[in-house]
Structure 1
Amino acid sequence: MRARVIVLAGPSGAGKSRLAERIGLPILRLDDFYKSAGDPTLPLIREGANAGLVDWDDPRSWVLEDAVAAMTELCRTGHAEVPIYDIAHDGRCGVRTLDLAGGPLFVAEGIFAQEVVPVAREAGLLAAAYCVRQHPLVTFWRRLTRDLREHRKPPLVLVRRGLALLRDQRRVVDHAVALGCVPVTPEEALAASRELAAAATPR
């Protein structure tokens, strides 16, 4: 393997994307592997005020196999073709080449990042796996302000989704830990990732 992966999992709004930028390594954005709107296999919300809408928080709305293939290709060759996803339009809108430029580590982050951890560990691709967590109210507010700023969905839908995710945060963290992620704050994940990067860099 030319490289290994640091996985950043955690609830939506926990700060994974910003943390990945701060770490300073190449980033594989796993949210780009969502299915496009209109896919007949997309799961629907069955209950509550948002019933009938696509459940984008269900792993079945995302393509694990494509994400794992890209991650594996990056580890083996140092580069991979990855999709570009437009969340506002619920669909893939192109592809790009992610090149590690010879680096020994990269970050994979996303709402379903924990799902790749068992495969990555089994294949010898994993450098570390963290579940980023913050107080549920902090996560709720950061997620809502981000989604409103980016016009991801109508405001009422976003508020209802945010409240549902607020109630579900403990389960999300517990699931990530069960799959092999270490629960940490963003600052703890930053320090640990930078330490891994320093150790992997030739002197």
Structure 2
Amino acid sequence: MRRNASHWCPVSSHPPIPTRVVLLTGPSGSGKSSLAARSGLPVLSLDDFYKEGDDPTLPLVTGSTDIDWDSPRAWDADAAVTAIAELCRKGRTRVPVYDIATSARTGTESLDIERTPLFVAEGVFAADIVERCRELGVLADALCLRGRPSTTFRRRLLRDLKEGRKSVPFLLRRGWRLMRAERTIVTRQAALGAHPCGKEEALGRLAAAAAGRCVKARTSTP
């Protein structure tokens, strides 16, 4: 099967539309945060749900003593889904404040989206909760940003160095590993239900979701 086109489908405007979420994922450095900000929608940063550095359940990179921060096991999916569900139900929730440089939560803060009918939850593990959000009936769309691995590598490294996220050797090891695995990462996220696309298509789908329309992919055999 091959995806080769898409069309818009209207959603009835008669019943009130509950608050829903667009899950935005993609490889680290793919531009998720900047695109979410461009959307003009409220944003929940899923990276704030990372586990803390002393958590004994944190996975290690195979053959290394480095913590594998790119494994879904380094992230608290249950807490993230709870926060999304509360935002959809109540319009507000408490979220952790996470400092990546120290791998620690430094506190909590309130996120209030009031009566906004749509918000974005963005992070590298967003695809891992697509099915759970769909089962809760709160999923508007799920998108996976993709681009050139070399561009993503450069953008990620410059960001991480500027923010002092980890040591330089760690960032170089991680960056090289992620560049080699980027296409596999996108394939996995797509298999979990996130639609792979570039930034302009992603913005178009966000606008459609905000307007109460949905996008369905057509498929055809080669």
Q: TM-score, normalised by structure 2?
A: 0.86
Q: What is the SS of the residue equivalent to 1:89?
A: coil
Q: What is the SS of the residue equivalent to 1:41?
A: coil
Partner of 2:44: 28
Higher helix share: 1
Which has the larger displacement, 14-23 or 188-197? 188-197
Cα deviations by residue, 1:126-154 (Å, 9 ceiling, x for unpaired)? 00000001111111100000000011111
Query: Retained in 2: the 8 A contact 1:31–1:111?
Result: yes
Cα deviations by residue, 1:61-80 (Å, 9 ceiling, x for unpaired)? 11010001101111111111
Partner of 2:181: 168
Looking at structure 2, the residues matched to 3 and 146 of structure 1 have their Cα atoms a distance apart, in angstroms, of 32
1:106 correspondence with 2:119: yes
1:183 correspondence with 2:196: yes
- Partner of residue 110 from structure 2, selected from 92, 97, 116: 97
Looking at structure 2, the residues matched to 37 and 92 of structure 1 have their Cα atoms a distance apart, in angstroms, of 9
Gaps of 5+ in 1: none
Spell out structure 1 runs of 4+ moving beyond 6 A: none
> What is the CA distance between 1:8 and its match in structure 2?
0.4
Q: What is the SS of the residue equivalent to 2:101?
A: helix
Cα deviations by residue, 1:97-131 (Å, 9 ceiling, x for unpaired)? 11112100000000111011010111111000000
Matches within 5 A, 1:85-164: 85-164=98-177
Which has the larger displacement, 5-14 or 153-162? 153-162
Matches within 5 A, 1:45-84: 45-47=61-63, 51-84=64-97
> What is the CA distance between 1:2 and its match in structure 2?
3.5
Q: What is the SS of the residue equivalent to 1:142?
A: helix
Gaps of 5+ in 2: 1-16, 214-222
> What is the CA distance between 1:160 and its match in structure 2?
1.2
Pick the structure with greater CA Rg.
2
1:4 correspondence with 2:17: no
> What is the CA distance between 1:195 and its match in structure 2?
2.5
Amino acid at match of 1:46: T
Cα deviations by residue, 1:29-82 (Å, 9 ceiling, x for unpaired)? 1000000111111111222xxx10211111111101000110111111111111
> What is the CA distance between 1:159 and its match in structure 2?
1.0
Aligned length: 197
Partner of 2:35: 19
Looking at structure 2, the residues matched to 93 and 35 of structure 1 have their Cα atoms a distance apart, in angstroms, of 12
Higher strand share: 2
Looking at structure 1, the residues matched to 39 and 185 of structure 2 have their Cα atoms a distance apart, in angstroms, of 23
